[in-house]
């Protein structure tokens, strides 16, 4: 779900389900060419440019983190973002695996 999007909007907000990377992805290359490191504050988004800084908030507990987009995904239907395990821990979503999240980012000028 995309909320707050208009042609003049500078901050974009999306809400939806998010998950985190499984341990098996540690060290594998991401779509940006970086090696995935579950100990860094990174995430995957389907369309945001690599390097975009995103604020992610767990809507169930209010915890927030800042991550950098460095991969493509998630590919599970209905999900808007996949975060690293470090980010998932800080968000308090490791046990649940999937959480209702809000993501905010600034739209880049063209």
Neighbour-count burial of 101, counting CB atoms closer than 10 A to its CB (0-12 exposed, 13-18 middle, 19+ buried): buried
Is 42 buried (19+), middle (13-18) or exposed (0-12) by CB count in 10 A? Answer: buried
The pTM (predicted TM-score) of the whole model is: 0.86
Residue 8 has pLDDT above 60, yes or no: no
The answer to whether 55 touches 64, Cβ cutoff 8 Å, is yes
Token digits of residue 5: 């999007």
What are the φ and ψ backbone dihedral angles of 90, each rounded to 5 degrees? -65, -30
Q: Please say whether the beta carbons of 55 and 105 come within 8 A.
A: yes
In whole angstroms, what is the distance from residue 26 CA to residue 28 CA? 6
pLDDT in tens, 55-64: 999 999 999 9
Q: How far apart are CA 89 and CA 2, in angstroms?
A: 25
pLDDT of residue 88: 97
The reported pLDDT for the residue numbered 98 is 96
Among residues of the chain, what percentage have pLDDT more than 70?
89
pLDDT surpassing 70 at residue 110:
no
| SS3 of residue 78 by DSSP | coil
* Structural domains for the chain: 2-6+14-106 (2.40.40.10)
Nearest C-alpha neighbor of 3 from the set 11, 14, 19, 17 = 14
């Amino acid at each position: 779900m995309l909320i707050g999007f208009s042609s003049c909007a500078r901050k974009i907000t999306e809400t939806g389900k998010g998950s985190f990377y499984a341990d098996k992805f540690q060290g594998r290359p991401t779509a940006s060419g970086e090696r995935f490191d579950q100990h860094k504050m990174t995430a995957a988004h389907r369309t945001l440019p690599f390097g975009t800084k995103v604020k992610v908030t767990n809507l169930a507990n209010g915890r927030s983190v800042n991550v950098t987009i460095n991969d493509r995904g998630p590919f599970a239907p209905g999900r808007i973002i996949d975060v690293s395990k470090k980010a998932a821990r800080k968000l308090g979503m490791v046990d649940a695996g999937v959480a209702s999240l809000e993501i905010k980012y600034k739209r880049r000028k063209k």
